[in-house]
Copies of this chain bind each other. A is one copy, B any other.
């Protein structure tokens, strides 16, 4: 059957983020957070959720991806100008980008260690460090 059951765990997570567990949001959350680490584009997630039989507009997918990102449940990874990936792994880690397939792959944390950070520009603090190894 195609109904999405309202999993307590996900609902609690959404409540903690002050996001109402609507039908659409629940469906998206299930796809994102119950399948392990994922790297999805808005289009892909939209296709997924439609395939699961839940009607959600693409605009709503975008809105939710950004709300999740704002709440710290997702991390946005920019690879191309013109395409954003959303990563369900919000811990500090880096990526391989496969130019041929357009896929993102996590780099195991221990496999790439950054040396000491450089001296930062005056009056700034680090918001995030992005490392992308482009392979083909």
Contact residues of A with B, CB < 8 Å? 78-84, 96, 98-99, 105, 107-108, 111-121, 124-136
Copies of the polypeptide in the assembly: 2
Asked if A131 meets B134 with Cβ closer than 8 Å, knowing A108-B118, A111-B118, A112-B115, the reply is no
Closest 4 CB pairs of A and B: A111-B118, A124-B135, A113-B115, A127-B134
Q: How far does the alpha carbon of A23 sit from the alpha carbon of B68 in the complex, in Å?
A: 49
Question: In whole angstroms, how far apart are the Cα atoms of A116 and B113 in the complex?
Answer: 8
**Closest beta carbon of chain B to A44's beta carbon, Å:** 15
Minimum C-beta distance from A45 to chain B (A): 15
Query: A100 to nearest B CB, angstroms?
Result: 9
Q: Let me know if A136 and B112 touch, CB within 8 A.
A: no
On chain B, the residues within 8 Å of A124 by CB distance are 96, 98, 135-136
